[in-house]
Structures are given as structure tokens and as C-alpha cells.
Amino acid sequence: MHRFLNSIGGYTRSVNNYSNAASEVTLPRILGPAGGHQVFRQGMSWKTIAANTDLIVAFGGVRRSNLAVAPGGLSEHRIGSELSALHNVEVVSISPLADDAASELNARWVPTIPGTDVAIMLAMTWVLVTEGLADRSFVDRYVAGADMVEKYLTGGVAKTPEWAAELSGVPADEIRTLARRMASCRTLVTTSWSLQRIQYGEQSLWAGLTLAAYLGQIGLPGRGFGHGYGSIGDAGKPLSGPLPTLRQGRNEVSDFIPCARIVDMLERPGESGDFNGHRLSYPDTRLIYWVGGNPFHHHQDLQRLTRALAKPDTIVVHEPFWTGMAKHADIVLPATLTIERDDMGAGRGDPYLIAMKQVVPPVGQARDDYDIFGDLASRLGVYQEFTERRDSAAWLRKLYGNWQQSWRRRGHEVPDFDVFWETGNIRLPGLREPDPPLADFVADPDKHPLNTPSGRIEIFSETVAGFGYADCPGHAAWLEPEEWLGSELAQRFPLHLIANQPARKLHSQLDMGAHSMAGKTHGRERVRVHPTDCASRGLSDGDVVRIFNDRGSCLAAVESTVDVRVGVVQLSTGAWYDPSRPDIATCIHGNPNVLTTDRGTSSLAQGCTGQHALVEISRYTGELPAVAAFDPPSFAGCVAERRS
């Protein structure tokens, strides 16, 4: 659950740490902040889709395990019944993984070469344009930049289904037939967040929106374009009003860098990097104060990260556990867990406000983040300004009281704090079904223009084109990744690794728990491999293998399955980083981030590219080393306390 008290000072520690998934790649000047919020954050409910949709074409699928999690948590888990209600909706899942589509959907799987979704979307758009199936009235009224997009689709190397088939491995007739079917019925085009976590990841979102624009169904119930279905559990959930949150204040320091470029910052002080049309300077960082999150789970190329973290003079970390980041810190301030303190919780799109009552006293020297920051504020001489002379209990009452008054002004009564605390939860007032994204804009584009230079959906952006970025032109485009099965590097590393979200934990949280451990073999994460690829390497179920490329290596246990495309292997993220035996592998536990590259998606967004990497695997025949990922570090003269 989101922990409101730990938002003080502009920091939010959340049980759902989305630092990796998090940094959603967005395209400035396409839909703009207002329209972007509608499409990318909210979306239509599954109920609306079930009643108004004939066909869902899901690029990246609709993965079942992801639908159980959301920032702030989900108090009602109804996704099984919601997906089952789509029994009359045809679903096509375009993905290298069969189980990227929830079983309730009975989806048709179109196995594709990883990283080629954009080529398929462009070819489908080419079919709509060249066969007269595009909704020209919609494009003319609501879309800007169609002439430039169509010049790209049809000029030079035409983006035909045959062209896309050579890249994606999906037959041209299948692409062409599906595009025609999409134009003939009520269609929803969706893209998962996973498609963005690769080089040129912005293009999948842009191409999906372009395809949906030519279909002309944006703004209609159950149709158009959706982003994040199957990536997060709160897509399309009911809307409410404000929550009892703290004022965040204004940070007087305006400098920033993209989150995924932290290693560049540490390695290149004084230099600069591109981001969204600007050149940002990398400061000479001598101290890191890290609160919440673990980069050894969500960052890439962990050997490079380790070297970079040796450069600052001091690293301070708040942590309840001995994560990889805590083990790399100079000072670790033990922080309480949610069950060790009182707080309030709510999730984006969740219908309840939860009283999060302390269950057990803090372990050892663990303290609330708020108390730690309060003491630091005292040493800096700003204790009263920071705390406003309130302890945690007083803040809970204050925040709740302000929130109660705001709802009363809206004509809704909510119980007093004592009633809420005794009851344990209250249903949020003002809940309503979300409207279709951009419905107001489509109803009247002049009265409700988008926050773009043209006020329209910009499938070509003069602003982005004006940045002059070779890796992000002004419209959706196929840009060949450096690492994919069609590259020269695949001659050396012929397997395409997909490092997706785990099904048995949230990111890396509770990796040591019984449910997570039951999904491992020989104490290692499982790597899923197609039987054909197993046979060519002499591998069997349960074999421990070494997965490697030029950046690093890890140990994992084989799970042979036809649910991955030939040439594709899948190793979920979440295994705690264990470099204890570098003579055997960079990580002996199965963390795929030792294999992924630390490059930005493009000069525009500089997002994370931790989803894909080219690798090779071979059987490991040596003695298996013991996994030490969960062991606390040793100190001179003492041993670190370990939570039990």
C-alpha cells in the first residue's frame, strides 16, 4: 500500500517499487500531459470492453500475473471474473511468449520475433492506407501529420506485410488478414509496458497509437487505443477524487537527470547527455542518499553499476533488508516495514482507504523513515518547518481531517478518523466508471483540444523531428535494434533473452519467501527454453545452465516449454543479486540484469532497456555453489543483524 507519511520531503516509499517498470517511456508532444494521462494511465474498464469490443489486438499480450499488482495495492482481486466476462471478445496476443495472454481470454497466440512489434504495426497501417480501409474522416478531423506518416509507409522501402514478415517471423498473409479484420469490427489496440523496455522503446507506443488512429475508433467505448492492459492491475479501474496525501512542496533545485542514467552521471561528471530536446549536465556526485528501491534489481549491466557506485565518497541507504544496494552502502539506516508502524494506504483506482495498523514492534534499531528524516531536519535546523510539530499519529489525523473536509465541500460525507481507524477501511466516495480515453476530444476537438501544438493527435511531431535525433524521428518508425535475432551479434549469441516480471513475487520483494522459493530449482531462478533449443544444446528439464554474453553471466535452471518461441529464452527479473562466486558467474542466483545493457531507449526519453538481451546458454557441470544472496554482510568486529 502507498504509505502517505513516507512521502514527506518529496520521497515516496511504496511497497510497489516501479523504478524499473516505472519509468514509463512517454512521447512528448503526441498526446501531451492531459491526453497522455487519459490514455496511458486510466483507460477503459474491462466491463466497458466486454460490452463494446469485438476484437482486442494485444501487442505484448495481457499477462495475468501483472494484473494482481498496482501502485498502492489492490484490495479487490476480481480480474479473473473480469477477464472471463470477455468470452465473446476475440483476443489476439502478439508476443514471443504464449502465456503473455491470460488463460481466461482464450487468446490466439501469434509468436513473433522479440522487438519487431513496430514493424507489424506499421505493416498493418500500410494495409489500411493502401487498401482504402483507413477512416479518412477521423484522420482528417482529429489527426495531425498523416501526410508525413503515409510518405514513410509507402515511400522507399514500403512497409508491406511481406517486409514485416521477414523481420517478425509472422506470415504476411496473417498480418494482412488481421489488419482487414481490425478495420471491419469494433477493435481495441493495446500495447504493454514491456514493449518500451528495449532500445527504441518509444516507437511501439507511437506506432500503436498511429495504427489505432487510422482505424478511427479512438474515443469510443471499448475501442481505440489502450496502454498498460496486462502490465498493471489498475488500468480502467474506477475513478475517485483526492486522497489524504501530504503537500509535496517545491524543490528549489531544478536540475535532474533521467532515472535510468544514474551510471552515466557517476561515470561522466561534468559531461552532458540528451533528453527530450535538451542537454542535461551530469553533476559531480560525491554523496548518494538512497531511500526506497534497489537498483541491483531494476538497473542493467550490474558490473558497470557496481564500478560506478565505488566513485561517490559516501552512500547512505534506508532499508529493512540487506538488498544489493544496502550491501553497497557506507551507512545503512534500518527502516521499518509497513507492519511495524501505523499508516494509511490507498491505491490508484482502488475503491478503499485502508487503516494500516502496526502489527509488531520495530525489529532491532529500525525506525520510521519519517522519524529518521525528522532527526536529520533537526540537525539541519529545520525540524519545526519539516514536521510542523507533528508526530506520525498527529499527521495521520491531520491528513485524514483535511481529506474529510475536501469531500464534505463536494457534498460527500465520510466518517471521522476514529471511526475509520476502528473499522479498518472505508469505501472511497465519488467512485465512477472511467470514460473512454479522449472521448471529450472526439466529441468536440475544438472545445476540448489536446495539449499538443496542433491540439490534435500528432502521429507526426514537428517538435520531436526538430530535435534531430537519429534514434527518434518525428513519427513512428522501424529502427533496427543493436541486439535482436536479425543482428550480426546473434551469430555469437543466438538466443534472445526476455527478462520480464516474475509471477511469484513483486519485482524482487520477498524473493526469499516460500512462494518465491517454490518456483526455483536448485535454489536458482528458472530459465524457460523451447525444446528445440534444448535439444540442440543437449539440455533437459532441471539442468543448471550458465547464461552469458559479453556483459556478464548467471546460473539458472532449465524449464523446457513450448510456451516460448524458438530462439527465445525467458528469465524473469527478481532474483537477488549474488556475485559471491565471480569465478563461476557474475550472478550465481539468476539475476538477468547482469546480461542486459545499460543504454537509454533513445535520446528523447532515455528510458530503461532492461527487457531484452542476446545470450547463449550452456550446461553448467561444476559443483553448484551455495546461494549467498540473502546472507547479511560481515563487518569488522561484528556481524550484521538479520531479520527473521
pLDDT at 16 over 70: no
pLDDT at 30 over 50: no
Q: What are the angstrom distances between the C-alpha of 581 and each of 221, 237, 262, 590?
A: 55, 46, 26, 13
pLDDT in tens, 319-328: 999 999 999 9
The pLDDT, as a whole number, for residue 61 is: 96
Average pLDDT rounded to a whole number, residues 103-120: 97
pLDDT in tens, 497-506: 999 999 999 9
The pLDDT, as a whole number, for residue 554 is: 98
pLDDT in tens, 189-241: 999 999 999 999 999 999 999 999 999 999 999 999 999 898 988 888 887 88
H or E element, residue 470 = none
Helices assigned H by DSSP within 383-470: 383-387, 392-409, 417-423, 439-443, 462-466
Q: How confident is the model at residue 74 (pLDDT cuts 50, 70, 90)?
A: confident
- List of domains in the chain: 26-240+434-466 (3.40.228.10), 259-427 (3.40.50.740), 488-619 (2.40.40.20)
> With b meaning 16 or more CB within 10 Å and e meaning fewer, what string describes 98-135?
bbbbbebbebebbbbbbbbbbbbbbbbbbbbbeeebbb
The pLDDT, as a whole number, for residue 68 is: 85
pLDDT in tens, 368-382: 999 999 999 999 999
Encoded amino acid at 362, one letter: P
Higher pLDDT: 559 or 1? It is: 559
The pTM of the whole model exceeds 0.85: yes
Q: How far apart are CA 198 and CA 601, in angstroms?
A: 6
Q: How far apart are CA 40 and CA 192, in angstroms?
A: 10
How much is the mean pLDDT over the chain?
91
Q: How many CB atoms within 10 Å of residue 413? A: 8
Q: How far apart are CA 429 and CA 78, in angstroms?
A: 20
pLDDT at 6 over 80: no
Q: How far apart are CA 200 and CA 479, in angstroms?
A: 7
pLDDT at 361 over 80: yes
β-pairing verdict for 287-291 and 638-639: unpaired
pLDDT in tens, 128-181: 999 999 999 999 999 999 999 999 999 999 999 999 999 999 999 999 999 999
The pLDDT, as a whole number, for residue 78 is: 85
The pLDDT, as a whole number, for residue 18 is: 26
pLDDT at 2 over 50: no
**Which cell goes with 213?**
488512429
Q: How many CB atoms within 10 Å of residue 537? A: 16
Are the beta carbons of 187 and 223 closer than 8 angstroms? yes
Tell me the Ramachandran region of residue 560: left when phi exceeds 0, alpha when psi lies from -120 to 50, beta otherwise.
beta
Q: How confident is the model at residue 41 (pLDDT cuts 50, 70, 90)?
A: low
Are the beta carbons of 186 and 53 closer than 8 angstroms? yes
Percent of the chain whose predicted confidence (pLDDT) is above 70: 92
> With b meaning 16 or more CB within 10 Å and e meaning fewer, what string describes 209-234?
bbbbbbbbbbbbbbbbbbbbbbbbbb
Most confident of 225-234, 246-255, 438-447: 438-447
The pLDDT, as a whole number, for residue 641 is: 53
pLDDT at 483 over 50: yes
pLDDT at 640 over 80: no
pLDDT at 3 over 80: no
pLDDT at 33 over 60: no
Q: How confident is the model at residue 441 (pLDDT cuts 50, 70, 90)?
A: very high
pLDDT at 1 over 90: no
Q: How confident is the model at residue 127 (pLDDT cuts 50, 70, 90)?
A: very high
Strand stretches in 312-351, DSSP E: 314-319, 331-334, 343-345
Q: How confident is the model at residue 407 (pLDDT cuts 50, 70, 90)?
A: very high
pLDDT in tens, 513-555: 999 999 999 999 999 999 999 999 999 999 999 999 999 999 9
Torsion of CA 29, 33, 37, 40, to 10 degrees: 30
Q: How far apart are CA 643 and CA 512, in angstroms?
A: 12
The pLDDT, as a whole number, for residue 43 is: 85
Encoded amino acid at 536, one letter: S
Q: Picking from 65-74, 262-271, 398-407, which range would have the lowest pLDDT averaged per residue? A: 65-74
The pLDDT, as a whole number, for residue 639 is: 47
The pLDDT, as a whole number, for residue 79 is: 87
Would you give the DSSP letter of residue 150? H
